């Protein structure tokens, strides 16, 4: 990373994180089954109380909370705080991961792969935590695509490869006797 690219990336990545937060919120709202055991495809953000979709200006939960106090324009029910926290977690994690992945000696290619791999893992974790905290579920439609994506990214990550990604036991704990 050259110093000239640091400032633009530290502005761009939180914005990208907020946009990805909108997508993750949609997944967290629609993938778990509702009270009648129905599942929905990802769709526009909507009020949980009245079911009316939010105007595009309020898809970003943080903006909705700042501009309208998080209240639905149809039924005046307050939007939950989880979407705001999820968006903030995404917005904060991407710049951190980009700085973490930066190893100028490796070059831009490995750095980008390391960043994308770490971002996928962290964003999947944020989605799993959001669904688990609200519904006490870890969903197969999240786990399987994530496992495949992480395996593919791990196979192209410098220093890993497919065999090490799938078979390496990197979590070995050694005990020392004193």
pLDDT per residue as tens digits for the range 75-88: 999 999 999 999 99
Distance in angstroms (rounded) separating the CA atoms of residues 174 and 28: 38
According to DSSP, the residues that pair with 53 across neighbouring strands are 46
User: pLDDT class for 104, splitting at 50, 70, 90?
Assistant: low
Distance in angstroms (rounded) separating the CA atoms of residues 154 and 158: 8
Q: What are phi and psi of 3, to 5 degrees?
A: -55, -25
pLDDT at position 18: 97
Percent of the chain with pLDDT over 70: 88
What's the token pair of residue 51? 């079911």
Asked whether the predicted pLDDT for residue 1 surpasses 60, the reply is no
Smallest CA-to-CA distance from 81 within 96, 65, 102 is with: 65
């Amino acid at each position: 990373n050259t110093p000239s690219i640091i400032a633009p990336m530290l502005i761009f990545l939180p914005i990208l994180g907020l946009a990805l937060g909108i997508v993750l919120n949609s997944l967290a709202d629609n993938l778990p089954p509702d009270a009648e055991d129905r599942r929905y495809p990802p769709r526009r953000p909507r009020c949980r109380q009245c079911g009316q979709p939010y105007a595009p200006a309020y898809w970003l939960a943080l903006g909705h909370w700042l501009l309208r106090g998080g209240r639905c324009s149809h039924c005046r029910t307050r939007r939950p705080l989880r979407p705001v926290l999820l968006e903030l977690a995404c917005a904060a994690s991407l710049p951190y991961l980009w700085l973490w992945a930066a190893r100028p000696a490796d070059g831009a290619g490995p750095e980008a792969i390391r960043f994308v791999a770490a971002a996928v893992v962290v964003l999947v974790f944020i989605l799993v935590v959001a669904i688990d905290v609200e519904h006490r579920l870890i969903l197969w439609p999240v786990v399987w695509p994530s496992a495949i994506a992480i395996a593919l990214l791990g196979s192209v990550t410098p220093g890993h490869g497919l065999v090490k990604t799938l078979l390496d036991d990197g979590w070995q704990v050694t005990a020392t006797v004193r």
